[in-house]
Structure 1
Amino acid sequence: MNSPLSPSPAQWAKALRRTRLGERCLKTYPLKCEDLLRRARSAFKAGRTLKESFRLTQLEAVVRMLEEHECDFVDALGRDLHKPSFETVVSELILVKNEALHAFNNLKKWMQTQHVERNLSTTLDECLIVSEPLGVVFIMGTWCSPVQTCLAPLVGAIAAGNCAIICPSECTAHTAELLHRLVPFYLDNECYHVILADTNDLPEVVELKFDHVFYTGYREEGSRIAVAAARTLTPVTLILGGNNPCYVDQHCDIATTAQRIAWARFHNAGQSLAAPDYILCHMDVTARLVQALKCCLLQFYGYDPRESCSYGRMVNLEIFNRTRDMLWRSGKVAVGGQVIETEKYIAPTILTDVAESDPIMQQDILGPVLPVLTVNNMDEAISFINKQEKPLCVYAYSSNSKVISRLMSETSSGSFCSNDSALQSLMVALPFGGVGASGMGSYHGRYSFDTFSHRKSCLLRSTRFECVTYLRYPPYEERNLSLMTWASTLSQKSQGWCQIM
């Protein structure tokens, strides 16, 4: 508490209360995080979050916060990412509101005890599954979608009855500070907190021992988070980026395919976990697809995307430099390629003649660059995809249902979408998450509720029928074993005798 690096008690108390909008927030140091965790755990142990009415009130407050401060979020994301207001409203605010409203409308059903089907041995018993909250959870968002990746998981945590500490990405400082100021005005001040922490501090914060850690971001940082969580046996959900492949078949509507790929790839200046990262295009249509993509970029952003109000910028110089360097050392620029360091601007770029060994294919693509690789057939595309780490998303464009079916069944990924891009990551009815190197666990809708719940199995029995259950007690006799073996044999033919214990 007395470290020279820490703010004074008066400064900290002022930042913690956060009573005046527009005031710059102080960084939250690990010791202060421990204080917030202690407050949240006390509130959880007091049963503050257990009632359905409390959860509904908090969900309503999330929606109200987004509606009443839409302009503030648009401004913050504009300053952080030069993000167009259209993109902010549609891909950030509306998505979170849909999550909150869906949870609000279904919460009663989700909270209900689930009764397990009885059999003969449990005729007089009750077999139940009860969803109980985990406790205090830690949610870390990413700079790609700083509002959505913080608040969409938070909706699930609230619905499941947890307290939560939220950590927006430091890269999007204006959005992080806005959340830091607004959340205490809308959500319960003991149960929900926002901290501002450096990326390097996160493992130390995770080691404070939460009941669940939810992280959205990229693999390197996700690995550090997972290692830190493992030290305290804390379960984690990791939604991690990677290189998402997109196969374009010779049998498809090239114009529509190009529009949908270009929209997903260059949305938010290419800074997206769910966007298609590279195209595996059938050799018969590669030239047509590249030309169609060029036309789409002209239609979307005009002759000079730098002047377009619909095109964003890189989040910081580190990501800018990384993307620029990969761009300059990979393939051949078919369109775009212009960079302006002072503006963190990289034009929407399409690369052709890309080799598998090029830098752009070896690292996560965090910017507006789309490599196009040519394959001879679908088998070659499937083989290429399966040589790589399992991606978060796989995309396939074809009018042939057999092609779609093969891509879906013969590749492994966190999610799959045919003839469109990224939409599967936005739907409340579908779980979204990774597999293998692209993460573990999922969220959205009911799946968020389950992620932040413990499904406790409960058997409620009476003391009757001891005349049967006595067979399990010592001293063990051969006759009793024979009876139990006989009953077990019957269970293979009928569900009625699976247990006599």
Structure 2
Amino acid sequence: MDGDRIKATVARQKAAVAERRLRFGLEERKGALAHLRQTIERRERDIVEALRRDFGKPEPEVILTEILPVLQEIRHTMRHLKRWMRERRVAPTLATLGTSARIRPEPRGVCLIIAPWNYPFNLALGPLVSALAAGNSAVVKPSEMTPATSQVIADIIEETFPPDLVAVVQGGREVSQQLLDQPFDHIFFTGSPEVGRIVMAAAARHLSSVTLELGGKSPTIVGPGADLGKAARWIAFGKFVNAGQTCIAPDHVFVHRSIEVQFAEALRAAIRHAYGADARTSRDYARIVNAHHAERLHGLLQDATDKGARISLGGEAEGTYLAPTLIEAITPQMNIDREEIFGPVLPIMAYDGLDEVIDRINARPKPLALYVFEKDAAFAEEIVARTSSGGVGVNLTTMHYTHAGLPFGGVNNSGIGAAHGHFGFQAFSHDKPILKERWSAVPMLFPPYRPRVERLIRMAKRFLG
């Protein structure tokens, strides 16, 4: 889509904002969401096939990680939307006695949703559910790196919504930049911290509000009292689903030295159980999205092994296939220790004391997720209290993303704002305060400031200040 068509698309949605504020109420929003759900269910085979074509994602994984989260978001939103939209009364303060106060959630207006490639369906339509629930229109920009899925998203939206409510714009970086040049009321971006900075700088030109869902090196700590079988199963799932291309996947594991050998064996057994002796032949194992990212991962492995790291499982690569890989003897000089891995390579690092682990975590940018495996609740609580991260999982991985009652988002380098459920509704809403005068005494303090008024102001300061 060229620049003129992008401007026309945004202008069409801008022109409908005023009418939408009056006519896009509870029933209309729920109707739009119900229509979206029906279209997704009808086009399920197309979605599954598109994701298979884009990066070999197995059908059960498509249903579990792409389609189900969107349907769950729709169901949860429709169930609670009436309450979320309701005006909230606020009790008066001493200074505002004689007034009535309320807060009304209102739509931000025209929103831009920029989706990533790793979960291209889920992370395009999940935020759209929140945008529509809050009463907005939206332009959705799917990732050009997953063209089959992007086209299915475009087909679903075109089939479901008028373009003045939801439109899809496809294309590469140039199209993204043209979109960011437009005066959107809110931008919801999911992607890397590096691109997040570009999006935030572009939003600043129009003072557009932003929600940034980013990433980072999410650490996992396995304590000396952990259930090793449970830890291995959860870590193998969180790390190797979608071939490790998950923003909240465990990036690396700190394991207490006393259980290092037992844990490594349990983890290898969990990987073999999930994907067989050769994941290349498994129908349950996805592929790297493209040759460029496969080469990036090969480069990380090569750099690490050249500097002394050793691969204890996997490492086999062919085209966009990279086996589930465990790597040990990591040092700070290796790129794999500094860069977000975003693939099926898991460094395992032994530690002796918890302080050294916490110091290493706190020396890095705040991660999107942090995971702890330990039966001792005090051990886990100490880590939670002494670190900062977007979310925490204790004795599990990644599942906090699926909890509709929890905010999902990062902090600083890993993101700004939150999504899902009521938190997603709030991200796309402005809480408008409305204060109504009834019998306020404040006019007694208006100028001219004669002696009597001055005495009243000083009394107000004494009692209210």
TM-score range, shorter chain: over 0.9
Q: Distance in 2 between matches of 1:485 and 1:113?
A: 35
1:301 alignment counterpart = 275
Displacement of 1:122 in angstroms is 4.4
2:131 alignment counterpart = 157
Q: Distance in 2 between matches of 1:472 and 1:288?
A: 75
**Among 123, 137, 145, which residue is 2:119 paired with?**
145
Displacement of 1:291 in angstroms is 1.0
Displacement of 1:47 in angstroms is 2.0
Q: Distance in 2 between matches of 1:469 and 1:249?
A: 60
**Among 391, 394, 405, which residue is 1:418 paired with?**
394
Displacement of 1:290 in angstroms is 1.1
**Among 316, 329, 348, which residue is 1:338 paired with?**
316
Q: Distance in 1 between matches of 2:90 and 2:108?
A: 22
Q: Look up the SS of the partner of 1:169 in the other structure.
A: coil
**Among 144, 160, 168, which residue is 2:142 paired with?**
168
Q: Distance in 2 between matches of 1:182 and 1:120?
A: 53
How many residues are matched? 460
2:13 alignment counterpart = 40
Matched residue type, 1:44: V
Q: Distance in 1 between matches of 2:453 and 2:80?
A: 49
1:278 alignment counterpart = 252
Deviations 1:356-410 (A, max 9, x none): 2211111111210000111112111111100001110111111111111111111
- Give the stretch that moved more between structures: 31-40 or 131-140: 31-40
2:92 alignment counterpart = 118
Matched residue type, 1:85: E
Displacement of 1:123 in angstroms is 4.9
| Residue 62 (structure 1) aligned with residue 32 (structure 2) | no
Q: Distance in 1 between matches of 2:64 and 2:443?
A: 63
Q: Distance in 1 between matches of 2:106 and 2:89?
A: 15
| Residue 93 (structure 1) aligned with residue 71 (structure 2) | no
2:458 alignment counterpart = 485
Q: Distance in 1 between matches of 2:361 and 2:173?
A: 31
- Give the stretch that moved more between structures: 48-57 or 290-299: 48-57
Matched residue type, 2:187: V
Displacement of 1:121 in angstroms is 5.4
1:208-357 → structure 2 map (5 Å cutoff): 208-330=182-304, 331-341=309-319, 344-357=320-333
1:457 alignment counterpart = 433
Residue 217 of structure 1 contacts residue 239 of structure 1 at CA under 8 Å; is this kept in 2? yes
Matched residue type, 2:106: E
Residue 247 of structure 1 contacts residue 397 of structure 1 at CA under 8 Å; is this kept in 2? yes
Residue 40 of structure 2 contacts residue 156 of structure 2 at CA under 8 Å; is this kept in 1? no
Q: Distance in 1 between matches of 2:223 and 2:457?
A: 59
Deviations 1:87-128 (A, max 9, x none): 110111111111111111111111111100134654542101
Displacement of 1:252 in angstroms is 0.6
Q: Distance in 2 between matches of 1:314 and 1:299?
A: 21
Matched residue type, 2:19: A
Deviations 1:288-311 (A, max 9, x none): 111111111111111110010000
| Residue 374 (structure 1) aligned with residue 350 (structure 2) | yes
2:415 alignment counterpart = 439
| Residue 133 (structure 1) aligned with residue 107 (structure 2) | yes
- Give the stretch that moved more between structures: 120-129 or 373-382: 120-129
Matched residue type, 2:379: V
Task: Note the aligned Cα RMSD (angstroms).
Answer: 1.4
| Residue 395 (structure 1) aligned with residue 368 (structure 2) | no
Q: Distance in 1 between matches of 2:451 and 2:24?
A: 50
Matched residue type, 2:447: P
Displacement of 1:35 in angstroms is 1.1
Q: Look up the SS of the partner of 1:285 in the other structure.
A: helix
Residue 6 of structure 2 contacts residue 178 of structure 2 at CA under 8 Å; is this kept in 1? no
Residue 375 of structure 1 contacts residue 381 of structure 1 at CA under 8 Å; is this kept in 2? yes
**Among 193, 210, 214, which residue is 2:167 paired with?**
193
Q: Look up the SS of the partner of 2:255 in the other structure.
A: strand
Displacement of 1:254 in angstroms is 0.4
Residue 141 of structure 1 contacts residue 169 of structure 1 at CA under 8 Å; is this kept in 2? yes
Residue 261 of structure 1 contacts residue 276 of structure 1 at CA under 8 Å; is this kept in 2? yes
Matched residue type, 2:454: L
Deviations 1:158-206 (A, max 9, x none): 0000000001111111000111112111123321011102124313311
Unaligned runs of 5+ in 1: 1-27, 493-501
| Residue 30 (structure 1) aligned with residue 3 (structure 2) | yes
Q: Look up the SS of the partner of 1:436 in the other structure.
A: coil
Residue 203 of structure 1 contacts residue 224 of structure 1 at CA under 8 Å; is this kept in 2? no
Matched residue type, 1:304: D
1:22 alignment counterpart = none
Displacement of 1:259 in angstroms is 0.5
- Give the stretch that moved more between structures: 183-192 or 51-60: 183-192
Q: Look up the SS of the partner of 1:416 in the other structure.
A: strand
**TM-score, normalising length: structure 1:** 0.89
Q: Distance in 2 between matches of 1:88 and 1:481?
A: 70
Q: Distance in 1 between matches of 2:249 and 2:9?
A: 36
Matched residue type, 2:318: I
Percent of paired sites with the same residue: 32
Matched residue type, 2:40: L
Q: Distance in 2 between matches of 1:195 and 1:392?
A: 28
Q: Distance in 2 between matches of 1:440 and 1:471?
A: 44
**Among 173, 176, 182, which residue is 2:156 paired with?**
182
**TM-score, normalising length: structure 2:** 0.96
Q: Distance in 1 between matches of 2:459 and 2:300?
A: 68
1:25 alignment counterpart = none
Q: Distance in 2 between matches of 1:127 and 1:309?
A: 58
Matched residue type, 1:106: H
Q: Distance in 2 between matches of 1:112 and 1:223?
A: 35
Q: Distance in 2 between matches of 1:172 and 1:226?
A: 24
| Residue 476 (structure 1) aligned with residue 452 (structure 2) | no
Matched residue type, 1:429: G
Residue 58 of structure 1 contacts residue 188 of structure 1 at CA under 8 Å; is this kept in 2? no
Q: Distance in 2 between matches of 1:240 and 1:168?
A: 16
Q: Distance in 2 between matches of 1:375 and 1:201?
A: 47
Matched residue type, 2:453: N
Displacement of 1:427 in angstroms is 1.3
